[in-house]
Structure 1
Amino acid sequence: MTITIPQVFAAAVGRDPAAPLLTWYDDATGDRAELSGATLDNWVSKTANLLVDGVGLGHGDAVALLLPPHWQTAAILLGVSAAGLAADLADLGGDPQPVEALFTTPERVERAATWATTDRYATGLLPLAMPLREVPAGYADFVTEVRNHGDHFRGQPVAPADRAFAGPIELSHADALAAAEDRASQLGFGAGDRVLIDVTIHPDPVDWLLAPLVAGASAVLCANLDETKLDARANAEKVSLVLAG
């Protein structure tokens, strides 16, 4: 039976809500964050409530993500999907498309100006989910705003034929999950695996987020990977497969 991204995520959380589902490392900053399924689900629900109750978006609206791979990017993308909205993965390239809201970092504000929307959120992707010290003009701080919203989301059901991704490449939920299944098979992981992924090599969230979810795997995401730490990290994180250079 064809399913949707929110259903795949709910199944991943339901297998063991307390187990690590997504672990994040940035070797440039020393940041490490470990999110259980329950913790990530909380961020996803808050994000969906922000978009629906805070911004007032409706089923099928598009949201631009000018964000690099990160655990907060995962929460925002999954929150967009939970709300029945379509994610425009603007950071992967392509010309600006019509969107109703936008998420970015302060470093990408100049590029983000080419997307025409008044609902704009910035995040510094900082350790411990710290808010920005200085919020760019015309933006709200995502980390500050999202915490004001509910821990549970109850929205309209999402259908497999609904848009999951907008922009230069439009994919339905069914098509996105089929692509994720193919990528999991190509990359060589399946149910129960714990996969370490160098997100510089695999920047597409189909690879670093959806493929592990649909396969029943958990992910250890690494940015600015220091290869001298790779073996020790893989051992400490009980990694079964390494996808790095």
Structure 2
Amino acid sequence: MTPSTPSTSDAASGLLAALERTGPRPALAWYEEEGRVELSGHVLANWVIKSIGHLHDEIALAPGTEVVLDLPAHWKRLVLALAVWSLGGTPRAADGVRATAFLPHAPSPVPEVLISDRPGSGPVEDADEVLAVDPISLAARFSAELPPLVHDWAQEVRASSDRLAIALPAWSGPSAEPVDGSDLAGGTPGPPARLLVEDDGLDAVPQVLGALLAGGGIVGPASRVDERRAADEQVTGRACSSQR
């Protein structure tokens, strides 16, 4: 019997458990100007857990809270979106340029929580909480001087616990979809899917979740992955952008 998609009440915990089962195997490979970054299943789960803890403990993110992710495509943006959905929040994009199928344009110009790589501009003064994030994988802190009361996410998130210490509310994100014929527990024969994603996977979240739940992973952005890199990464298919 093929396992069903995790329910909204346990989707986040199911995803984290699947990533932990993936362990040291790569769950995400990201290509940027500085080079290639690989996150194992364990490390990707750790980033999501720390982000959940930080958003819950320091930002007091509650279910239903709108979070504007004013960030370019990056694996950090994907991690933050997963953390927001895990806490029952609603991630949005700040403008049409950075919007995706699952990060639609924010309907309100004044967000409750703003996470941005440009905290010195935009609706910073009106947001209840502002987090500064550099879309550089190895950045230990934000690279520019921050306005008063703005959180330096890279510094603060590292202080969060490596263990999930709270009971999660219902998952507020999209549901996972099986990919390449694999079930969501990775129980079918053959290697789990490794999907090439256009950007950071936020245009194809159901397929990304399906790949991660099955013990596979994602590789991106597609614009930086040529045929040789795709072969080296053992890419099995390409995620298709979804439309709501």
What is the deviation of 1:71?
1.3
**Separation in structure 2 between the aligned mates of residue 52 and residue 38 of structure 1, nearest angstrom:** 21
Assess, with a 3 A threshold, how the Cα gap between structure 1 residues 221 and 8 changes in structure 2: closer, same or farther: farther
Segments of structure 1 that go 5 or more residues without pairing to the other structure are 165-172
What is the deviation of 1:132?
2.0
Residue 18 of structure 1 is matched in structure 2 by 24
Indicate if the aligned counterparts of 1:21 and 1:36 stay in contact, CA closer than 8 A. yes
Indicate if the aligned counterparts of 1:77 and 1:87 stay in contact, CA closer than 8 A. yes
Instruction: Report the 3-state secondary structure (helix = DSSP H, G, I; strand = E; otherwise coil) of the residue aligned with 1:65.
Output: strand
Residue 155 of structure 2 is matched in structure 1 by 144
The question of 1:135 aligning with 2:145 is answered yes
Residue 136 of structure 2 is matched in structure 1 by 126
Indicate if the aligned counterparts of 2:115 and 2:130 stay in contact, CA closer than 8 A. yes
Residue 158 of structure 1 is matched in structure 2 by 169
What is the deviation of 1:83?
2.6
Relative to its length, the structure with more helix (as a share) is 1
What is the deviation of 1:146?
0.9
Amino acid aligned to 1:50: H
Length-normalised TM-score, structure 1: 0.74
- The 5 Å alignment of 1:2-17 reads 2-4=6-8, 5-17=11-23
Q: Once superposed, which parts of structure 1, at least 4 consecutive aligned residues long, lie more than 6 Å away?
A: none
Residue 212 of structure 2 is matched in structure 1 by 213
Residue 105 of structure 1 is matched in structure 2 by 117
Amino acid aligned to 1:94: H
Segments of structure 2 that go 5 or more residues without pairing to the other structure are 187-191
Length-normalised TM-score, structure 2: 0.74
Structural RMSD (CA): 3.0
- The 5 Å alignment of 1:1-245 reads 2-4=6-8, 5-26=11-32, 29-90=33-94, 91-92=98-99, 94-97=105-108, 99-106=111-118, 110=121, 112-113=122-123, 116-138=126-148, 139-159=150-170, 164=172, 173=173, 176-177=174-175, 180-181=176-177, 190=182, 192-199=192-199, 204=203, 206=205, 209-213=208-212, 216-222=215-221, 225-226=223-224, 230-242=226-238
Amino acid aligned to 2:220: L
Amino acid aligned to 1:12: A
Assess, with a 3 A threshold, how the Cα gap between structure 1 residues 96 and 31 changes in structure 2: closer, same or farther: farther
Amino acid aligned to 2:156: E
What is the deviation of 1:215?
5.7
Instruction: Report the 3-state secondary structure (helix = DSSP H, G, I; strand = E; otherwise coil) of the residue aligned with 1:234.
Output: helix
What is the deviation of 1:218?
0.8
Equivalent pairs, count: 217
